[in-house]
């Protein structure tokens, strides 16, 4: 519609998150970033590199190794007028802060009968693929999506990496953002003035009529690759990027499945009790009569992620396993 | 130090007020126990009987813009902070007129007007929050203080450690108030801490710390005033260990196997109201009539609170999933 | 088969757990119980009352409020030759120990390439119903069932309360046992010499041909009550007690659903991301073509559990809601 | 105290052995860095260069029945404890001949034969385990000790606090070894602790604690021997803070923005091998030939380890879900 094409810039997922943090801190004097090694080190995944020099140690706040206390402090600061962005270095360490997230952040608004909301954003890296082995490769965003009171986001694209953080900062509720470790180096172009994006809606990243591949975050590229493969076999897969894991955009899911009549849910969590189980159950409840085949799940194997590359990759969803599951729904 | 903020003024009005506040708590709690037995109050109920001097003493030092964070044994703190007994009692009942709309109950008292941030049923769970509210005040250059109450049992939790360090490291305006009543449920202090002088723990974070007789409301007030002045002046956090005793069971379920009845009896005369009352009488500061007037007034207030709660209404079941998330402004 | 009827005793769920602990400590000098207030107080839910006098403070070991350290100490003691039974007072506090459970207990055998197993039993109370409000009413056993390396048990009967603990102590893996708070007072009769029971298998608590109600723990009685109601309407519901939440006994689930062709899964966790979602997804995968209606879930509402009784009860699964869901699967 | 267990015997054999062990670690780590750059090793790699005196010194005091628990920076501990370099290097590669069957990698070195209980990539995560292994020894009346290594960064974690208290409260046989290398990733000690003298923290649990020059292998050994004798005698846990410095980045990803190159250079001559070597030379305790012999032997050992790892095999993908649970005996 716009006659003048908006300026576009080359960037990475990592830079997009950094740009969003910079925008947020520039726009709102109450916003600040807090977490382990976000300052002097520049962030475990280099997301916040340079921001300490720009904003100073009050607003790019290095914390001790105290996940429970600094997440709790983020909640308290949010209660008392600030706009904290707390970085938990990775989801693996967030277990140490889970009590604060579940029993305080998610619960305070309710327990106080609506008096005290917690406008807090928590960012964490998630996922496997870097051969970090059993204690450093969890994908636990599905757990967080279980908790009423939270919003859970999983940006899979550069636009979303930039825009979802800004969107989250407009939300008066605690919002968790999961950034998949394999995405940080992803390159691409976005509008120079890219800003907040809508959260809460899933996106159809590729339209198709034969089967719906439903995924998010680090698995999106794998699903897209699977769709590519399937296209060569004349199977047109529709790919849904959930984007928001809580609340789920069931309308988009059901709308697509009602058209394609087949679905594969892809999720890097362990299969048993995965987010994919929830999506599958939702389809069961809302689109059972539309289905021409059982919904399939492609998740991680039931094993703590092993260190060697061949075993790690074998444990994770792959384009081949996704494509195979899609074919199976078509009886091929 | 000559700062008038520091020394409690022991005017007759002031001592009467201290007594009155403690009596308000005591009678409220006694009523709660009765109402629990009558099944008007349910869930876990932890009363503050015997520990009233701490909440009352500390609150004297706080201003309206300060923040209070407490535990599941927080009725006393709420009352001393100014949460109306009416809405507090309605909360005990679970009525929607309650200060947390009835959603929270005894362990989750919240009140925005008095900046009472709960009520927290996870032992130690309030300490990181207090670090955060104080951080927000510090970053916004407000002279406010957060008073954070917790039991000596909480001192064993990792969150205690992390919170002490953060508060001290960042020199945040927190007044940590440890209510050392010698037991965590049925676990005696000596069975839970290798260092039983809790204030020494605070010192290990280079945080100024002291121990005070938690049965002496004037001593608590004096310590709080001094600490709050220092905190407001930017000295960073301060730790007060108040030595006290819980006269009742941990909760209404406690069969008190872990302590002798005799031990409780020995403590009773040292109770904060008992002692303060005796002192006021001995020194002829308050007349018997004044005591009577307080009791009469408080009894009426408690009755009014019960009436308010009784008259309260149940939130409609249709509203069940309200208050879970707020809608963003668009 | 046995000509002489075995002696039976009246007991409660609480006493059955206590008897099992007593048996375990008597039989194995390496077994001990450790947790907050298990000794002098007698246990938060009075399970261990009397055991301190019987076994002394070394083996009925009161711990400070330090969930992470004493659960981790249980893991370490198990690694080094002891047979600890760790009581985490309630699942609500287990969040503080979750890092130890997930990153150590569940993972050590794998990370060590099979060298170090963790023969540890962790017991916790779970569930709502006592008006304990938002921070004290969680049902998170579904989360634990997500974790490879753990076994997860949920005794719903007195036999199981007694026998599963003893069974768990024969397992060389970390086993979590969830005791629903509303069951402790349940009375009944069991064989005087009741001992270890098999774990890993679900039980059909009531046979039926029209619809399968799948549940566990505190919801079993509700499902049984619903089945009772349905029977009056000539709907014969089969009731499955999962008993073991990880690994799931899918054979029993699928076998039943293949016969009844309809299922309702009942679980006290919040619906989104519930264990019920996993069961539903499993049925989707393995019995889709057998189904005559979509599998339904009856779970807790998406709200932190409220304090007042009417709201608490409204938030939880109830016989009526279960029966209604069952009827719906039959188009009634 | 005249117990022979306490004083290190500075025989020529012993000092040569101390040096040799430190050199083994150093050369192994240097090889790891090289192999990382050649992409033979992947994941996170944290090397121990500069800190060798601690693992080597402490291990001198341990017996085979003792237990060792370390962190993700644990190659040095494994080597000093006696884990063969071959299986250790195969673990770095992820080969099934590795000491953890290749499943663990650099951060998860385990070895049952030497009672090496890991390798733990969660900061602070090993401390509760150490409390537990020590508890098991104490309950079984075995005279064994658990040596638990961790960085100064871990001291801020709640698990540190809870573990210190439990160990001290229950008088458990744990030797806590804090490797204070002044940084936790890029966070300097002063930015993470209000009390930067870490051993003072231990004292706040009434745990005997001391600080030792972690660059001096003999000093570390002496402290460890003394502590272990006391622990075995039933004195309860002991805490040693070893002051040291990490010569390399935190991991292979570290761009070291947080410290000056000059600072690192200033530390280098104070390195444990550098200093001990200089002292041995100055005092003519070891001849140049002995140094050479050690280097030659160690170089061969490292090469053999690499060859072993290279020759190792990949665990079949079909075995992916093995080692997750053990089957119960029936
Ligand atoms: C994390 C956590 N663990 C356990 C409990 C159960 N519990 C509630 S109160 C309490 C004792 C706390 O004692 P203390 O901190 O001394 O406070 P007091 O009750 O004496 O005021 C325990 C164990 C809890 N609520 N939270
Ligand atoms: C609980 C937890 N939080 C964060 C991390 C990420 N991390 C790994 S090592 C490290 C620094 C630890 O420093 P220190 O304890 O001093 O040990 P050092 O690396 O200096 O030997 C951090 C923050 C982690 N592994 N675990
Ligand atoms: Mg107490
Ligand atoms: Mg360090």
pLDDT in tens, D273-308: 999 999 999 999 999 999 999 999 999 999 999 999
Q: What is the 3-state secondary structure (H, E, C) of chain C?
A: CCCCCCCEEEEEHHHHHHHHHHHHHHHCCCEEEEECCCCCCCCCCCCCCCHHHHHCCCCEEECCCCHHHHHHHHHHHHHCCCEEEEEEEEHHHHHHHHHHHHHHHCCHHHHCCCCCCCCCEEEEEECCCCCCCCCCCCCCHHHHCCCCCCEEECCCCHHHHHHHHHHHCCCCCCEEEEEECCCCCCEEEEECCCCCCCCCCCEEEECCCCEEEEECHHHHHHHHHHHHHHHHCCCCEEEEECCEEECCCHHHHHHHHHHHCCEEEEEEEECCCCHHHHHHHHHHHHHHHHCCCCCEEEEECCCCCCCCHHHHHHHCCCHHHHHHHHHHHCCC
Asked if A136 is an active-site residue, the reply is yes
Kindly list the domain boundaries of chain D, sorted by start residue. 12-319
The residue out of C191, C215, C249 marking a domain boundary is C191
Q: Which atom of ligand 2 is nearest to the CA of D46?
A: 19
Distances in whole angstroms, Cα of residue C289 to Cα of each of A253, A327, C284, C297? 22, 17, 9, 19
Helix (H) or strand (E) holding A187: strand A187-191
Domain tally for chain C?
Answer: 2
Q: Which two tokens stand for residue C275?
A: 């264990």
Average pLDDT, chain D: 96
Percent of chain D with pLDDT over 70: 97
Same domain, yes or no: A255 and A325: yes
Q: Which two tokens stand for residue A331?
A: 């009886």
Q: What angle, rounded to 10 degrees, do the helices at B158-169 and A67-79 form?
A: 60
Closest approach of chain B CAs to the CA of D124, in angstroms?
11
Separation between Cα atoms, residue B265 and residue A295, nearest integer Å: 67
How far, in Å, from the CA of A125 to the mean position of ligand 4? Answer: 22
Q: Check residue D44 and give its pLDDT.
A: 97
pLDDT digit string (tens) for B305-320?
999 999 999 999 999 9
pLDDT digit string (tens) for D47-61?
999 999 999 999 999
- Counted residue by residue, chain A has a size of 332
pLDDT at D4 over 70: no
Q: Which two tokens stand for residue D52?
A: 């060798």
pLDDT (average), residues B145-159: 98
Contact C317, C268 (CB under 8 A): yes
Contact D132 C77 (CB under 8 A): yes
Largest CA distance in chain D: 65
In a domain, A149, yes or no: yes
Average pLDDT, chain C: 97
Q: Check residue A3 and give its pLDDT.
A: 62
**3-class SS at A263?**
strand
pLDDT at A56 over 90: yes
pLDDT at D2 over 70: no
Residue nearest to atom 5 of ligand 1 (CA): B123
Q: Are strands A121-126 and A175-180 parallel, antiparallel or unpaired?
A: parallel
Candidate from A80, A109, A148 with C-beta closest to B326: A109
Average pLDDT, chain B: 96
pLDDT digit string (tens) for D176-205?
999 999 999 999 999 999 999 999 999 999
Separation between Cα atoms, residue A35 and residue A46, nearest integer Å: 13
In a domain, C161, yes or no: yes
Q: Check residue B169 and give its pLDDT.
A: 98
pLDDT digit string (tens) for C101-150?
999 999 999 999 999 999 999 999 999 999 999 999 999 999 999 999 99
Cis amide linkage into residue A160, ω under 30° from 0: no
pLDDT digit string (tens) for C152-197?
999 999 999 999 999 999 999 999 999 999 999 999 999 999 999 9
Percent of chain C with pLDDT over 90: 98
Separation between Cα atoms, residue B203 and residue D201, nearest integer Å: 10
Q: Which residue has the tokens 């745990």?
A: D207
Same domain, yes or no: A181 and A209: no
Straight-line distance from the first to the last Cα atom of chain C, in angstroms, rounded to the nearest whole number: 43
pLDDT digit string (tens) for C189-224?
999 999 999 999 999 999 999 999 999 999 999 999
Picking from C222, C217, C267, C268, the residue whose alpha carbon sits closest to that of residue C243 is: C217
Q: Which two tokens stand for residue D139?
A: 């309950």
Closest approach of chain B CAs to the CA of D207, in angstroms?
9
Long-range contact set of residues B295-299: C-beta below 8 Å, sequence gap at least 24: B295/B23, B295/B27, B297/B20, B298/B20, B298/B23, B298/B24, B298/B27, B299/B27
Separation between Cα atoms, residue C74 and residue C70, nearest integer Å: 6
In a domain, C3, yes or no: no
ipTM, interface predicted TM-score of the complex: 0.98
Separation between Cα atoms, residue B98 and residue B203, nearest integer Å: 40
Q: What angle, rounded to 10 degrees, do the helices at B12-37 and B272-282 form?
A: 150
Separation between Cα atoms, residue D293 and residue C159, nearest integer Å: 69
Picking from B152, D110, D139, the residue whose alpha carbon sits closest to that of residue C73 is: D139
Contact B192 D169 (CB under 8 A): yes
Same domain, yes or no: A164 and A239: no
Q: Which two tokens stand for residue B321?
A: 């999933």
Phi, psi of A275 (to 5 degrees): -60, -30
Distances in whole angstroms, Cα of residue A319 to Cα of each of A14, A206, A306, A325, D135? 24, 15, 20, 10, 48
Picking from A128, A156, A139, A146, the residue whose alpha carbon sits closest to that of residue A281 is: A146
The residue out of C191, C215, C233 marking a domain boundary is C191
CATH 3.40.50.970 fits B12-319, yes or no: yes
Cβ-proximal residues to D148 (8 Å cutoff; 6+ apart), any chain: D69, D70, D126, D127, D129, D130, D174, D175, D176, D177
Counting beta carbons within 10 angstroms of the beta carbon of residue D3, is it exposed (0 to 12), middle (13 to 18) or buried (19 or more)?
exposed
D258, D314, D326, best to mutate vs chain A, most A CBs in 10 Å: D258
pLDDT digit string (tens) for B36-76?
999 999 999 999 999 999 999 999 999 999 999 999 999 99
Separation between Cα atoms, residue C153 and residue C216, nearest integer Å: 9
Same domain, yes or no: C25 and C123: yes
CATH number for the domain harbouring residue A208: 3.40.50.920
Same domain, yes or no: A152 and A216: no
Closest approach of chain A CAs to the CA of B55, in angstroms?
21
Q: B127 contacts in A (CB within 8 Å)?
A: 69, 72
Beta-carbon count within 10 A of B122 CB:
24
Contact B257 C41 (CB under 8 A): yes
Q: State the DSSP string of D77-144.
A: HHHHHT--HHHHHHHHHT-TTSTTTTSS-TT---BTTTTB-----STTTHHHHHHHHHHHHHHTT---
Q: Check residue B1 and give its pLDDT.
A: 36
Give me the helices (H) in chain D, please.
12-37, 52-59, 75-81, 85-93, 126-139, 158-169, 189-192, 198-203, 217-230, 261-267, 272-282, 288-311
Same domain, yes or no: C238 and C144: no
In a domain, C143, yes or no: yes
Same domain, yes or no: C137 and C251: no
Q: Check residue A1 and give its pLDDT.
A: 46
Q: Specify the DSSP class assigned to residue D233.
A: I
pLDDT at B95 over 60: yes
Q: Check residue B201 and give its pLDDT.
A: 96
Same domain, yes or no: C95 and C155: yes
Buried b (16+ CB within 10 A) or exposed e, B127-159: bbbbbbbbbbbbbeeeebbbbbbbbbbbbbbbb
Q: Using a 6 Å cutoff on CB, does residue D202 contact ligand 2?
A: no
The residue out of A161, A191, A221 marking a domain boundary is A191
Separation between Cα atoms, residue B246 and residue B53, nearest integer Å: 12
- Which residue among D29, D153, D181 has the greatest number of ligand 2 atoms within 8 angstroms of its CB, and so is best to mutate? D153
How far, in Å, from the CA of C46 to the mean position of ligand 3? Answer: 19
Q: Check residue D1 and give its pLDDT.
A: 36
Percent of chain A with pLDDT over 70: 99
D159, D168, D195, D208, best to mutate vs chain B, most B CBs in 10 Å: D195
Size of interface A-D (CB pairs under 8 A): 130
Separation between Cα atoms, residue A201 and residue C140, nearest integer Å: 28
Choose, from C15, C36, C67, C312, the residue flagged as catalytic: C67
Q: Which residue has the tokens 């140690």?
A: A57
pLDDT at C1 over 90: no
Residue B10 confidence class, pLDDT cut points 50, 70, 90: confident
Contact D156 A302 (CB under 8 A): no
Separation between Cα atoms, residue C151 and residue C173, nearest integer Å: 7
Same domain, yes or no: C181 and C214: no
Picking from C82, C104, C84, C98, the residue whose alpha carbon sits closest to that of residue C35 is: C84
Asked if A67 is an active-site residue, the reply is yes
pLDDT digit string (tens) for B110-123?
999 999 999 999 99
What pTM was computed for the model? 0.98
pLDDT (average), residues A34-58: 98
C73 touches chain D (CB under 8 A): yes
Structural domain of A280: 203-329
Residue bearing the bigger pLDDT, A193 or B221: B221
pLDDT digit string (tens) for A118-152?
999 999 999 999 999 999 999 999 999 999 999 99
């Amino acid at each position: 519609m716009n006659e003048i094409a908006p300026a576009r810039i080359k960037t990475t997922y990592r830079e997009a998150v950094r740009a969003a943090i910079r925008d947020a801190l520039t726009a709102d004097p109450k916003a600040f970033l807090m977490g382990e090694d976000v300052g002097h080190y520049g962030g475990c995944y280099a997301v916040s590199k340079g921001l300490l020099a720009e904003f100073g140690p009050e607003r790019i706040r290095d914390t001790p190794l105290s996940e429970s206390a600094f997440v709790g402090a983020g909640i308290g600061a949010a209660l008392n007028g600030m706009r904290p962005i707390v970085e938990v270095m990775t989801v693996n360490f967030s277990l140490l802060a889970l009590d604060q997230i579940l029993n305080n952040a998610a619960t305070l608004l309710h327990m106080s009968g609506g008096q005290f909301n917690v406008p807090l954003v928590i960012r964490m890296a998630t996922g496997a693929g870097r051969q970090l082995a059993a204690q450093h490769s969890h994908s636990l965003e599905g757990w967080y999506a279980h908790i009423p009171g939270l919003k859970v986001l999983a940006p899979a694209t550069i636009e979303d990496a930039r825009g979802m953080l800004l969107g989250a900062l407009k939300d008066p509720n605690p919002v968790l953002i999961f950034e998949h470790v394999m995405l940080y180096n992803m390159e691409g172009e976005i509008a120079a003035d890219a800003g907040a994006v809508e959260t809460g809606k899933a996106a159809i990243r590729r339209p198709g009529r034969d089967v719906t591949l439903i995924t998010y975050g680090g698995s999106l590229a794998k699903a897209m690759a699977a769709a590519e493969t399937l296209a060569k076999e004349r199977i047109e897969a529709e790919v849904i990027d959930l984007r928001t894991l809580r609340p789920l955009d069931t309308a988009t899911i059901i709308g697509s499945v009602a058209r394609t009549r087949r679905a594969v849910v892809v999720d890097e969590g362990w299969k048993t009790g995965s987010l994919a189980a929830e999506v599958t159950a939702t389809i069961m409840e809302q689109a059972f009569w539309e289905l021409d085949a059982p919904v399939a799940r492609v998740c991680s194997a039931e094993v703590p992620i092993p260190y060697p590359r061949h075993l790690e990759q074998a444990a994770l969803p792959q384009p081949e396993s996704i494509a195979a599951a899609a074919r199976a729904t078509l009886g091929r | 130090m000559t700062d008038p903020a520091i020394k409690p003024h022991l005017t007759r009005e002031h001592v009467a007020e201290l007594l009155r506040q403690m009596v308000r708590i005591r009678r409220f709690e006694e009523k709660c126990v009765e109402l629990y037995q009558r099944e008007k109050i349910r869930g876990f109920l932890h009363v503050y009987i015997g520990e009233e001097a701490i909440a009352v003493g500390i609150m004297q030092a706080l201003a309206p813009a300060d923040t209070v964070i407490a535990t599941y044994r927080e009725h006393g703190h709420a009352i001393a902070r100014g949460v109306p007994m009416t809405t507090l009692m309605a909360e005990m009942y679970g009525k929607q007129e309650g200060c947390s709309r009835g959603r929270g109950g005894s362990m989750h008292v919240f009140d925005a007007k008095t900046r009472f941030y709960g009520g927290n049923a996870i032992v130690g769970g309030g300490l990181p929050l207090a670090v955060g509210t104080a951080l927000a005040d510090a970053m916004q250059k407000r002279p406010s203080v957060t008073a954070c109450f917790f039991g000596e049992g909480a001192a064993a939790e990792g969150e205690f450690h992390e919170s002490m360090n953060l508060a001290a490291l960042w020199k945040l305006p927190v007044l940590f108030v440890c209510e050392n009543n010698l037991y965590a449920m049925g676990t005696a202090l000596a069975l839970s801490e290798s260092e039983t002088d809790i204030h020494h723990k605070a010192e290990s974070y280079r945080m100024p710390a002291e121990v005070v007789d938690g049965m002496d409301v004037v001593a608590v007030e004096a310590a709080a005033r001094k600490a709050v002045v220092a905190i407001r002046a930017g000295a960073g956090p301060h730790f007060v260990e108040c030595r006290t005793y819980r006269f009742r069971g941990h909760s209404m379920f406690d069969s008190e196997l872990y302590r002798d009845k005799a031990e409780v009896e020995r403590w009773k005369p040292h109770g904060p109201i008992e002692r303060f009352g005796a002192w006021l009488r001995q020194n002829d500061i308050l007349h018997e009539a004044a005591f009577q007037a307080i009791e009469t007034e408080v009894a009426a207030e408690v009755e009014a609170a019960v009436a308010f709660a009784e008259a309260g209404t149940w939130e409609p079941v249709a509203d069940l999933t309200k208050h879970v998330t707020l809608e963003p402004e668009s």
